[in-house]
Each structure stands twice: as C-alpha cells, then as structure tokens.
Amino acid sequence: MNAKAAPLSLPEIDVEEFRKVVRSRRSVRRFTDEPIPDAVLEDCLELATLAPNSSNLQPWEFFVVRTPELRGKLAQACLGQNAATTAPVLIAIVARPDTWRKHARLALENWPKEEKLPSIVEKYYKKIAPIHYNQGPLGLLGVAKKTAGLVVGLSRPVPRGPYSVNEMKVWATKSTALAAENLMLALRAHGYDSCPMEGFDECRVRKLLNLPRKGLVTMVLAAGRRAENGVYNRQYRFDQETLIHYL
C-alpha cells in the first residue's frame, strides 16, 4: 500500500512441511489429559489473529477456557461431545459484527509507526467504513444503501453489501472462520490437535462465558494432544471435479 515501505524479506518455505501440517490435521474427538503449554497456546492464538480479515477490522474474539470446572460446564453445553469432554482446552471463537467502529479507530491508531499513514487509508477508516458497515437504526441505512446500489449497479460494478444486520453477521463470520483455521493449523504445527464444533447450545454457551451480546459463537474449538483413538475414520473428500471449477 505504501510505496516507500521497506520490501518484506520472504523466508524460504518447505511446502512439504506445510503439506504435513495440513494433511495431518484431523478433527480429533478424543484427547489425552496432557495440557497445552501456555506458550504454545499463546503462539497459536497469535498466529490465529494473523489470518486475513475484512478491512483489517479483526472482527473476532477468542474466549479460552482451561479451568476444569468451567470447562466441564462448557463441555456439557457442547452437548457432552467426546471432543469437548476430553479436551484440556476449549476455545469459544466469537465473531463480532458490532466492533467495526471501535476497530476502525484501532486500525488507525495501530498503523505501523515506521510508515506514513496513506491518506486513502485514513479516509477509508474515517469516512468510507462508517458508511459501508453502518446499517443505521432498524437497518434503514442498509436498505437505503442497497437501493442506491441496485440503481448505480445497473451501469457499473458496486459493492453489494453488507446491507443488513444479518449480512454483517456473515461479514464477521467469514473472517472469524479464517482465524479459526489458522488456529487449528497452528496447533497441528505445534504437535497438538483440535476439533471445531458447531454442535453446542449457543444460549448456554453465551450465558456460561458471559459473552458479548452481539457476538456470534462461530465455533467452539476443542484442543489438546490427540489420543490414540482420537480420530474416528480415514479422511476423505469428494472428487475435485465436483468441487473445483476452472473457468
């Protein structure tokens, strides 16, 4: 973005090491009792937050549960699934469709000190984002933006959203899911494993962890050391022709 920024030095990467991480990641349903060291967990969470995300607004939060009592209750809210009841760590990965305004300020405050803030970036966070992400009272601004988009979109490409509170939820969830995947791969790279879970009672999870009212629990991630019987079946995917389309 900044033409004067120092060129990034790219490290050598062994694709086979990356392949090992990706290929050995499985959804693990049983863990040993071994705890994940704090330093490992902190590193994985930091790597999670390096995921790409919309406008760098980082619309996610991670609620890490390790104490046995709270973990036990959370595992029950995860419907008593084996992954949840055996994991030494449970992490509620929460999308925040509502933090964009505060985070737009943070994006400016956190701009790297070594680099001059480009005026276009300042304008984006101060002027454009407040229109783009704000849906207004009762979502009426969103309706107005959608209508304007439909008209202007007849003659040129325009953004087609987010134009509603629900679209903001999708917006935040997209970035949060990428952070979740980073977290799972980071755990694997450290020799640990995970199981993403959407099988949980969201009302109970929210109440138990006292989560922010507008946060969406994208997943609860069970994490720990894979037990010998932790993987239930061989991994398989559909034929690439079904899923990948070269146009």
Ligand X SMILES: Cc1cc2nc3c(=O)[nH]c(=O)nc-3n(C[C@H](O)[C@H](O)[C@H](O)COP(=O)(O)O)c2cc1C
Residues whose CB is less than 8 angstroms from the CB of residue 139 and which lie 6 or more positions away in sequence, other chains included: 164, 165
DSSP state of 59: -
| Distance of closest approach, residue 197 Cβ to ligand X, in angstroms | 4
Where does this chain touch ligand X (CB under 6 A) — which range of 51-59, 129-137, 161-169, 192-200? 192-200
Quick check: 86 and 30 in contact, CB under 8 A?
A: yes
Nearest to 231 by CA among 19, 59, 27, 14: 27
We find the least distance from the C-beta atom of residue 81 to ligand X, in angstroms, to be: 6
Which is closer to ligand X, CB of 53 or CB of 218? Answer: 218
Q: Using the rule CB under 6 A, is 199 a contact of ligand X?
A: yes
Q: Tell me if 147 contacts ligand X by CB under 6 A.
A: no
Going by C-alpha positions, the residue among 79, 69, 83 that lies closest to residue 32 is 83
* Site for ligand X contains 219 (CB under 6 A): yes
Nearest to 62 by CA among 237, 231, 180: 180
Our finding on whether 173 is near ligand X (CB under 6 A) is no
Residue 204 identity: R
Among 74, 92, 186, 197, binds ligand X (CB under 6 A): 197
Say whether residue 198 binds ligand X (CB under 6 A). yes
Per CB under 6 A, which region of 5-13, 34-42, 103-111, 193-201 contacts ligand X? 193-201
CB of residue 52 to ligand X, shortest distance in Å: 18
CA distance 182 to 18: 12
Residue 216 bridge partners (DSSP): 95
Q: Is position 95 an interface residue for ligand X (rule: CB under 6 A)? A: no
Contact with ligand X (CB under 6 A) among 65, 77, 83, 129: 83
Torsion of CA 31, 32, 33, 39, to 10 degrees: -80
Nearest to ligand X of 73, 101 (CB atom)? 73
Q: Which token pair is 241?
A: 């022709």
User: Counting contacts by CB under 6 A, is residue 235 touching ligand X?
Assistant: yes
Contact between 26 and ligand X per CB under 6 A: yes
What's the CA gap between 101 and 212, in Å, rounded? 16
- Does residue 29 bind ligand X (CB under 6 A)? yes
Q: Minimum Å distance from CB 206 to ligand X?
A: 17
Amino acid letter, 66: R
| Nearest residue (CB) to ligand X, 115 versus 198 | 198
Q: Does 24 bind ligand X (CB under 6 A)?
A: no
Classify residue 190 as exposed, middle or buried by CB count within 10 Å of its CB (0-12, 13-18, 19+).
middle
What are the residues binding ligand X (CB under 6 A)?
A: 26-27, 29, 81, 83, 195-199, 219, 235
